[in-house]
Structures are given as C-alpha cells and as structure tokens.
Amino acid sequence: MRGKILLTGLSGFLGRNLYLLLRERLGKDRFVFILRESRRDWARQMGLKGVYFFTDPLEARGLYEEIFGDNDVEMVIHCAGISGERLGVSWGEYERINVAWPIMLAESFCKLSRRGKFVFISSIGIYGTAPYKPYISEGDIPKPDGKYHLSKKIAEECLLDLFADRNDAQVGLVILRPNTLYGEGDKGVLWKMFCLLKRGLLPVWGSPLTSFASVDLMAEVILSVWQKENAGRVVINVSEPSFKLVDFLKEASANVLGVSKAPMVLPLWSIKHFLKIAPPWLGNRLSLLSLDKVYDTSKLEAFLGRAVYPMEAFPKYRSYYRSCVEG
C-alpha cells in the first residue's frame, strides 16, 4: 500500500504513540490528521502538516469527503472517542462520539476510496468482566459492562454490517480489541498497579490483570494489516502476556520500583478470588476473529502472511514507569 493514512485521536495516549511508532517505519509524510478546532494551537506547536480541523464531528461529513477526495487515503486508523467510563457523560454522548462518528467516517471512506482498510480501535472489554478468563474463544459472547464498552460493541456491529454490504473486496474493515494498554504517557491501570506495589499492596483484578498490550504491539499489528493486500472483515484481539504473572510482579518490584523485594499485603479473600479467576501461567493472547469466529495465533499469522509476536516492550518503558512512581 502506497497511499496516505488518516489518523484520528492524535492528541490521545494511543493515537500519539501509534503515530510516533508508525512514523519511524512509514515516514511522517504518509499521514493526515483530523483534530478538534480547540487543538489548532497544539498542532501548530507540534509542527504537524496535513491537519484538518472540525468543531463537531457529526457535522463534518463534508470535511471527511474533502479529505478522502483530496488525498489518496488507503487506511483510516480511528482512535478518537470517549475512553473508559466517564462520570457525568450521558449515554447520548457516548452514542454520538463512539458510535455515530466512526460510522459517518467509515461511510465517507467507503464512498470515496477505491481501496484500503478502515481500522477501528475497540476494546477487549466488550466481553465484560465475568467470567474471568485468560483467553477468548469461539464460544464467548460479548456482554459489555457499562456505557463505554456497550458503545464499542454497537459500533462494531454497525461497522461490520456496513462493510458486509460492500461488494468491492478492495475496501475492508479491521477491528482491533486491545487489552489493558501500556506505554509512555500511560497513566492507566499499569501505572496505578505500580503505585500499589510501591505501597506494598498486591492489586487483584479480573481480566485486566490477565493480560496487557503494549502500544508497540498495536503498531506491529497495524503494520501487518497495512502490508496485507486483500481486505475483508476481521477482528483481532490484541494482548501480549509472554511472562508469568509472578515474574512480572518481581520485575515490576525490582526494576521499576528499585527494590529487590517489595512487601506484599494480600488478604485471604483476595487469594481465594484470584485463584478462581486466573491460571498460574499466562500465555500469548494474540488471536484472530473473522466473521464471528476466533482463531489461534497460527491462523492469525497465516491471515497476515507474517509472524506477529509480542515485542516484550515492558523493558523499553521501564524508566518511564519508574519516574511516574518516584514522582
């Protein structure tokens, strides 16, 4: 693929990291962006080129058609949206931003692009928080908890229907469902876990603890999709726990917190709960779902035409997390 990449959500954690990582491999001239008008000064300070600005994403259909008409866009990476459960944000706003917006953008892409892929960033959380499992299989049915994950599930369904109606196999849909993301700039679950470790507390969660996904792995999967010629509709669950949980906690204690052995305080009820929801080992959870079927890593590699492995990115971000917990 030789065309442009339209990236939304550049000012967010994932969008910013994906741009920096993909720029190293594809070059900065490959990208165009759409940002809110309020980000104009920020974009100028960043020295960005190829930026289009909007006030309301649902009143910008003409802008989207201008972008696709003036640029040879072969991939859209839609990272923008309301992330997580936000207090005070109504379901109507989730529906506007997380459902209606990507659908409108995808409709414009399908209308004006001769070839390419629309990459929608969803969440593994659409499966809900129970039962707690270390993997997703064909038998698992999405049962989202909360407005955020429900909005992602509805957006997925609408996009799959939209692209199912396309007779042109040159335009396809790729949905990426990452687990708990980490990388530079992250102030989410992983960062909070290190803060608990620093206090001598061992955090116990359900699915967030069973798997993480680095921004590096997300970039690697997108690069694989970029290099794949044929389109279609696929959903990829992205996670990368290639180390045992105990080893991970030891590394976090020793290398991030700078102590050889962090004291752990774990109530008895937490131990019983943890043993029910998490296995003693955690394997690679990169899998492919196509037309509502989930396949293992080997089939994903066959689909992409190349091997995709976890990049063991945690050591790369070690100094960042150390500075966070020390600060």
Q: Alpha carbon 278 to chain centroid distance?
A: 23
How many other CB atoms are there within 10 angstroms of residue 126's CB atom? 21
Amino acid 231: pLDDT: 67
CA angle 221, 290, 188 (to 5 degrees): 45
Q: Which pLDDT band holds residue 210 (cuts at 50, 70, 90)?
A: low
User: Rounded distance, CA 55 to CA 58, Å?
Assistant: 9
pLDDT in tens, 3-58: 999 999 999 999 999 999 999 999 989 999 999 999 999 999 989 999 999 999 99
- Rounded-to-integer distance, Cα 155 and Cα 101, Å: 9
Q: pLDDT tier at 284 (50, 70, 90 boundaries)? A: very low
What is the end-to-end Cα distance of the chain in Å, rounded?
43
> Does the pLDDT at position 267 exceed 70?
no
Q: What CA–CA distance (Å, rounded) separates 198 from 192? A: 10
What are the counts of helices (DSSP H) followed by strands (DSSP E) for the chain?
Answer: 13, 11
Beta-sheet pairing, 293-295 with 287-290: antiparallel
Query: 3-class DSSP state for residue 47?
Result: coil
* pLDDT at site 238: 81
The four Cα atoms 238, 210, 136, 99 give a dihedral, to 10 degrees, of: -60
Query: Does residue 281 contact residue 294 with C-beta atoms inside 8 Å?
Result: no
What's the CATH architecture for 4-186+212-242+282-311? 3-Layer(aba) Sandwich (3.40)
Say what the pTM is.
0.85
**How many angstroms separate the CA atoms of 104 and 100, rounded?**
6
Q: 75-85, pLDDT tens digit by residue? A: 999 999 998 88
Contact 97/113 with Cβ under 8 angstroms?
no
| Radius of gyration from C-alpha coordinates of the chain | 20
Reading the block at residue 288, the tokens are: 């492919």
Instruction: Provide the pLDDT for residue 119.
Output: 96
Which of 59, 96, 101 minimizes the C-alpha distance to 79? 101
Q: Which residues pair with 49 in a beta bridge?
A: none
Q: Work out the pLDDT band at 314, boundaries 50, 70, 90.
A: confident
CA atoms within 13 A on the CB side of 17: 20
- Mean pLDDT over the full length of the chain: 79
Per-domain residue ranges for the chain?
4-186+212-242+282-311
- The predicted pLDDT at position 194 comes to 76
Q: Report the SS3 class of residue 112.
A: helix
Residues 217 and 238 sit within 8 Å (Cβ to Cβ):
yes
